Structure 1
């Protein structure tokens, strides 16, 4: 790993793209890749939020993009590639998590979850791969969840979408196995992010508990009963993007405080 002026520069000259890059896990990964020298396109629907966080680092580049809209994804990634080069690192992170008991799930809820979490990842990865040549180096990461390797109650649509995302990454790892591109899935447990904060608020309201109690309830979903910090997921992502992980392909990296599955 090269060092320059005290900064990691392993990805100097490479273009990375992170969907859902304005908050939480996506922002953490984007910042770390920028610190490692990459030019990082961060995407999301809230352009003002993206522009705000991009001001903190000269190698963060905001792009308004809705992963649930095909033209937005294909045109957005093509424009990012024209501006910063082929997408050598792609982190399909954008997703939604809206808890709902199975009996109350509507087809609209199901389709909204699948369109964002699954269709969005498919479109993002396909559009990113289209910017690469047959001999190019690449690292493709899908941010799944512990819900991708086990069932979660009151989150059937989310669970199904995250299982399917792992299937996409495993299938791509086989299809592109002779290439210089790897495909892996990160499977975090409950991370202390704005999504968890929103879910804690909803749980507290629904079950008549305090938000602190709701956070503790969610933390109980991790094997060590503690909410994860974003940097724990970021560290795993940066490792997967490194040369040291060149033989790690088609894997599900579980980060949940203990053995999950």
Structure 2
């Protein structure tokens, strides 16, 4: 029996790879882009999710990132990353959880980051918001313990996406390195020694959402080749 899967930030990058994985499994997938639903807007989230009906799997993938030293991080930057990465996951999870609990089955998977588990320079707003997203996931997991619902997260290192390409370009512009050298530097930040491909993240998401993963709850799967071990 196919499931209804909702993927926020589902039209490109990791989200598009996740949507394709579920579609290939025969699930009905709704890939929400920014134009479809502003995950930071409480009313919009409530309306869209109510219209979608009984959601079996929610993938909180919508996210934004920027980097700067703490002293140069603006309040606007802080708030924008917090609103999308943390509040967005909160609003979407809150919208689906009552129905999942009433039906006694459901999966919530949040796409976080290794920055949700370990601090890095120049990522105060991003790391704080992703830490919050993982904390939310753990609190939800505690609430649903003993039911047919689970909440988990995946924490990848840098993935080959537009967001990472922007990071590479920023490093190149700041340091004078070529974009190729800048990408190698970013890739070298994890023991993996390369950028992750979006489909590698999608594989982990689909695993956590599987019916057979009912015993996995409140966990983070780290995808970085072994640098962050939890």
Q: TM-score, normalised by structure 1?
A: 0.85
Residue number in structure 2 paired with 1:29: 18
Cα offset, 1:131, TM superposition:
3.4
Native 8 Å contact 2:101 2:147 kept in 1:
no
Q: Establish whether residue 42 from structure 1 lines up as the match of residue 10 from structure 2.
A: no
Give the aligned length: 229
SS in 2 for 1:87: coil
Cα offset, 1:130, TM superposition:
3.5
The unaligned stretches of length 5 or more in structure 1 are 1-11, 47-63
- Which residue of 68, 72, 96 maps to 2:44? 72
CA distance in 2, matches of 1:74, 1:203: 39
Q: Establish whether residue 156 from structure 1 lines up as the match of residue 148 from structure 2.
A: no
Point out the structure with the larger helix share: 2
- Which residue of 139, 150, 173 maps to 1:182? 150
Deviations 1:100-131 (A, max 9, x none): 11110111111111011100000011112233
Q: Establish whether residue 109 from structure 1 lines up as the match of residue 81 from structure 2.
A: no
Q: TM-score, normalised by structure 2?
A: 0.96
The unaligned stretches of length 5 or more in structure 2 are none
CA distance in 1, matches of 2:185, 2:135: 29
Query: Alignment RMSD, CA only?
Result: 1.2
Native 8 Å contact 1:223 1:260 kept in 2:
no
Residue number in structure 1 paired with 2:136: 168
Native 8 Å contact 1:138 1:180 kept in 2:
yes
Residue number in structure 2 paired with 1:243: 211
Residue number in structure 2 paired with 1:141: 109
CA distance in 2, matches of 1:80, 1:214: 42
Structure with larger RCO (C-alpha < 8 A, sep 6+): 2
CA distance in 1, matches of 2:99, 2:32: 17
Native 8 Å contact 2:101 2:148 kept in 1:
no
Q: Establish whether residue 16 from structure 1 lines up as the match of residue 5 from structure 2.
A: yes
Residue number in structure 2 paired with 1:57: none
